[in-house]
C-alpha cells in the first residue's frame, strides 16, 4: 500500500471512502449544511454527499460563509471525516478549528502535492502524523 | 477564546507575527444553523467586545419588513439571536454586503480584517486596503483582538499581479455596459482562481458599481480576493506598477467570443417565461436605483422585481422621494438581507432573472430557481413583459 505524506494543517485520525471533487466548490451554496449533499447543480459531484467521507479537493472558492457551513455540518454529524487539500485553504481550515474549539469534534485537515492528489482513490486513512494510506 | 482561535490559525498559516487591524467587516451574523449562534453567544457570555470599528454583513432577516422572510419561528428566533449577539459585542448594525458604499471605506494601505467575499475583493482592489479572505468566526476573532496574522495579502509582495489580462480587443461600447463587468468577473474567477491579476485596456471612467459587480462575480466563480485595473485602482497607476516591474507569468488577450461564452454559461435556461427578477447582489447603491428608475420610465412590472439593498440606501431613497416611485412601479425592496441568503421568494422553483453574477452563481442551489443572466436594462424589460427579453447586440 503506497503511503502519501501530507502536511497536517489540523492533526487527527480518520478513515473513509474518498470523495474527490473534480472542480472547486463554495461550501456555502455548494453543500447543504443539514445533510452534507452537494447541491450545486453545475458541480461535477452534484448529488454526492460529503457525510462521513474523506473529502479531497483542490481548494474552496466563493463565499466566506464556508467556515460556517463546515461548522454546522460537523455539529450535526454529517460533515466529512477528514479533508485533503492541495492549497492551504483557510476558510475551510477555520471551520474545522472552530469545530474543535466548540467541542463538535476534531477532523484532520491535511495538504498534499498536486502529484500525490492524483494518487488518491478508494478508501483513505489519515494517520496522526499526516500519512495517507489508500486501499 | 478569540485569541486562541487566532493563534491556531496564525500557526497553521505560518505567520511569524500578528499585526494590528483598523476595522473589521463581520459575516458571521448571517444565520446558517444553530452552531453559529452557539459560537457567538459563547463569545458574548465571555464578555467579548470588538476593539475596532466592525460593520455587520447582511443577516437572515429583513428587520424593517419581517413578514417578507419565510423562516419558521424556530429559525427566525435563532437568526434574530445571532444578529443580537453580534450587536451585543459592539458591532455596527449596518446589515449590508456593500459596507464600502455605506460609509465604511478604509484607506489605501490599511490592514483590515474583512469577511464577505465581495467586500473583501472590493476593499483590496478598489480601496487598496489589505485583507485576506477571512471566513466567518475569524472576522469576529480579529475584531475582538484587533489583530490578524501577518500573511497573504497583508504582505505587499503578495499583492503584485502575476496574470495580465489585456482587454484592448474588446469593443469600447461593451465596456460601457454594466453586464460586461459581471461577465468579466465570472470569467476571471474561473481563470484566475486566487491569483492576483491586472487588467489593461479598461476605461478610466469605470465606476465603483461596475468594479463592485466585477469583484462580486469573480469572488463567486473563483477565490479572487484582489485584482488591479491599470490606470484606475490605487496599486496600479500603470500596468508596470501593478506587475512591480516584472514580467507577467501569464498574459491573456481576452476575446469577445470568450466573454460571450461566459455570458451563456451564467444562465441555466435560455429564455421563455419568468417568475421573478432579483437585483442587488451586492446591495444596490443609490446610483443603481437611479438607473433602475430611468429604465423603468414610469412603466409597471408584470412580475415581481426584487431589489436588495441596505438601510443606508433606504434613507437616501426616502429623501429623494424615489421610494414611493419604485413601489408604484412594482419594485419590491428587500432590506438588511437578500434573496439567496434567506428564504424570501414566493416559490421554491421557477425561473429567476438577474443582472448579478453572484445571484446567477448561487440562485440555482440556494433558491431552487433556474437562472437567466442579463443586463439591468434586460431585467427591467423582462419584468415588464413577464418573459425574457435580452439585447444581444454588442455580444455577438
Architecture per CATH, B276-385: 2-Layer Sandwich (3.30)
Q: Judge: B35–A68 Cβ closer than 8 Å, yes or no.
A: yes
Distance CA B314, CA B309 (A): 8
Q: Judge: A98–B39 Cβ closer than 8 Å, yes or no.
A: yes
- Residue A23: list chain B partners with CB under 8 A: none
* Whether CATH 3.30.499.10 fits B2-154: yes
Distance CA B66, CA B77 (A): 12
The DSSP secondary-structure symbol of A34 reads T
Closest C-alpha among B293, B314, B292, B362 to residue B63: B314
What do you get for the CA distance between the two ends of chain B, in Å?
55
Q: Which of A63, A64, A68, A113 is catalytic?
A: A63
Please check whether residue B45 touches A, CB under 8 A.
Answer: no
Fold identical between B2-154 and B276-385?
yes
B189 Cα distance to chain centroid: 13
A64 is catalytic: no
Chain B nearest-CA distance from A58, in A, is: 11
Q: Judge: B136–A68 Cβ closer than 8 Å, yes or no.
A: yes
pLDDT at residue A1 is higher than 80 = no
Q: Return the pLDDT at B100.
A: 98
Residue with cell 467556515: A67
Domain spans, chain B = 2-154, 160-265, 276-385
Please check whether residue B199 touches A, CB under 8 A.
Answer: no
- ipTM for this prediction: 0.94
H or E stretch at B77? helix B73-88
Please check whether residue B222 touches A, CB under 8 A.
Answer: yes
Distance CA B9, CA A90 (A): 8
Q: In what order do the strands lie in the sheet with B331-335?
A: B331-335, B305-309, B276-284, B350-354, B369-373
Domain spans, chain A = 3-134
Distance CA B43, CA B37 (A): 10
- Residue A28: list chain B partners with CB under 8 A: 32
Distance CA B213, CA A108 (A): 36
- Residue B117: list chain A partners with CB under 8 A: 62-64
B125 Cα distance to chain centroid: 13
Distance CA B141, CA B144 (A): 5
- Residue B361: list chain A partners with CB under 8 A: 29, 62
Residue with cell 466563480: B221
> pLDDT by residue for chain B (396 residues), tens digit each?
999 999 999 999 999 999 999 999 999 999 999 999 999 999 999 999 999 999 999 999 999 899 999 999 999 999 999 999 999 999 999 999 999 999 999 999 999 999 999 999 999 999 999 999 998 999 999 999 999 999 999 999 999 999 999 999 999 999 999 999 999 999 999 999 889 999 999 999 999 999 999 999 999 999 999 999 999 999 999 999 999 999 999 999 999 999 999 999 999 999 999 999 999 999 999 999 999 999 999 999 999 999 999 999 999 999 999 999 999 999 999 999 999 999 999 999 999 999 999 999 999 999 999 999 999 999 999 999 999 999 998 888
Reported as half-sphere exposure (CB side, CA atoms, 13 A), residue B16 has a value of 1
- Residue A33: list chain B partners with CB under 8 A: 32-33
Provide the CATH number for the domain formed by A3-134 in this structure.
3.50.30.10
CB-closest option in A60, A76, A97 to B223: A60
| Digit-coded pLDDT (tens) for A10-68 | 999 999 999 999 999 999 999 999 999 999 999 999 999 999 999 999 999 988 899 99
Contacts with A63 (C-beta within 8 Å, 6 or more apart), sequence order: A26, A27, A28, A29, B117, B220
- DSSP per residue, A59-74: -B-S-TTHHHHHHHHH
* Test the B interface: residue of A64, A68, A74 with most B CBs within 10 Å: A64
Q: Judge: A40–B365 Cβ closer than 8 Å, yes or no.
A: yes
Q: Judge: B116–A94 Cβ closer than 8 Å, yes or no.
A: no
A53 within 8 A of A75, measured Cβ to Cβ: no
Pairing mode of beta strands A123-126, A14-20: antiparallel
Q: Return the pLDDT at B394.
A: 86
- DSSP per residue, B346-379: S-SSEEEEES-HHHHHHHHHHH-EEEEE--HHHH
Distance CA B187, CA B167 (A): 13
Amino acid at each position: 500500500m503506497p503511503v502519501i505524506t501530507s502536511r497536517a494543517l489540523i492533526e487527527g485520525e480518520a478513515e473513509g471512502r474518498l470523495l474527490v471533487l473534480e472542480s472547486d466548490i463554495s461550501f456555502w451554496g455548494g453543500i447543504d449544511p443539514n445533510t452534507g449533499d452537494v447541491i450545486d447543480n453545475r458541480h461535477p459531484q452534484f448529488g454526492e454527499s460529503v457525510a462521513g467521507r474523506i473529502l479531497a479537493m483542490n481548494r474552496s472558492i466563493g463565499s466566506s460563509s464556508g467556515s460556517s457551513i463546515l461548522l454546522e455540518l460537523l455539529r450535526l454529524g454529517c460533515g466529512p471525516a477528514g479533508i485533503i487539500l492541495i492549497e492551504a485553504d483557510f476558510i475551510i481550515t477555520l471551520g474545522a478549528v472552530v469545530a474543535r474549539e466548540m467541542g463538535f469534534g476534531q477532523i484532520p485537515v491535511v495538504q498534499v502535492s498536486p502529484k500525490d492528489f492524483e494518487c488518491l482513490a478508494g478508501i483513505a486513512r489519515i494517520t496522526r502524523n499526516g500519512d495517507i494510506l489508500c486501499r | 477564546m478569540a485569541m486562541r482561535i487566532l493563534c491556531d490559525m496564525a500557526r497553521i498559516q505560518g505567520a511569524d507575527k500578528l499585526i494590528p487591524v483598523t476595522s473589521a467587516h463581520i459575516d458571521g451574523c448571517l444565520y446558517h444553523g444553530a452552531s453559529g449562534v452557539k459560537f457567538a453567544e459563547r463569545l458574548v457570555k465571555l464578555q467579548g467586545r470588538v476593539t475596532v470599528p466592525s460593520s455587520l454583513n447582511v443577516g437572515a432577516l429583513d428587520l424593517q419588513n419581517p413578514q417578507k422572510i419565510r423562516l419558521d419561528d424556530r429559525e427566525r428566533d435563532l437568526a434574530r439571536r445571532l444578529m443580537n449577539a453580534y450587536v451585543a459585542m459592539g458591532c455596527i448594525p449596518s446589515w449590508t454586503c456593500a459596507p464600502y458604499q455605506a460609509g465604511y471605506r478604509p484607506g489605501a494601505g490599511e490592514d483590515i480584517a474583512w469577511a464577505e467575499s465581495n467586500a473583501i475583493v472590493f476593499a483590496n482592489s478598489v480601496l487598496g486596503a489589505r485583507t485576506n479572505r477571512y471566513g466567518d468566526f475569524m472576522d469576529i476573532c480579529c475584531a475582538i483582538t484587533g489583530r490578524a496574522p501577518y500573511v497573504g495579502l497583508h504582505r505587499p509582495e503578495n499583492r503584485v499581479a502575476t496574470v495580465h489580462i489585456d482587454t484592448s480587443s474588446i469593443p469600447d461600447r461593451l465596456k460601457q455596459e454594466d453586464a460586461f463587468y459581471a461577465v468579466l468577473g465570472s470569467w476571471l474567477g474561473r481563470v484566475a482562481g486566487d491569483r492576483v491579476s491586472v487588467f489593461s485596456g479598461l476605461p478610466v471612467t469605470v465606476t465603483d458599481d461596475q468594479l463592485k459587480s466585477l469583484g462580486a462575480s469573480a469572488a463567486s466563480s473563483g477565490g479572487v480576493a484582489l485584482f488591479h485595473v491599470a490606470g484606475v485602482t490605487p496599486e496600479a497607476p500603470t500596468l508596470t506598477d501593478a506587475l512591480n516591474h516584472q514580467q507577467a507569468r501569464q498574459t491573456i488577450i481576452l476575446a469577445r467570443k470568450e466573454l460571450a461564452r461566459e455570458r451563456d454559461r451564467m444562465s441555466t435556461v435560455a429564455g421563455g417565461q419568468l417568475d421573478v427578477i432579483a437585483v442587488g447582489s451586492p446591495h444596490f447603491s443609490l446610483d443603481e436605483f437611479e438607473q433602475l428608475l430611468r429604465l423603468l420610465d414610469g412603466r409597471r412590472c408584470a412580475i415581481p422585481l426584487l431589489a436588495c439593498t441596505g438601510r443606508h440606501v433606504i434613507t437616501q431613497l426616502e429623501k429623494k422621494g424615489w421610494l414611493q416611485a419604485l413601489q408604484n412601479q412594482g419594485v419590491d425592496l428587500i432590506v438588511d438581507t437578500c434573496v439567496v441568503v434567506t428564504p424570501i421568494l414566493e416559490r421554491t422553483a421557477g425561473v429567476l432573472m438577474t443582472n448579478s453574477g453572484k445571484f446567477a452563481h448561487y440562485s440555482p442551489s440556494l433558491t431552487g430557481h433556474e437562472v437567466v443572466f442579463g443586463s439591468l436594462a434586460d431585467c427591467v424589460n423582462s419584468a415588464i413583459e413577464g418573459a425574457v427579453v435580452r439585447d444581444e447586440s454588442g455580444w455577438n
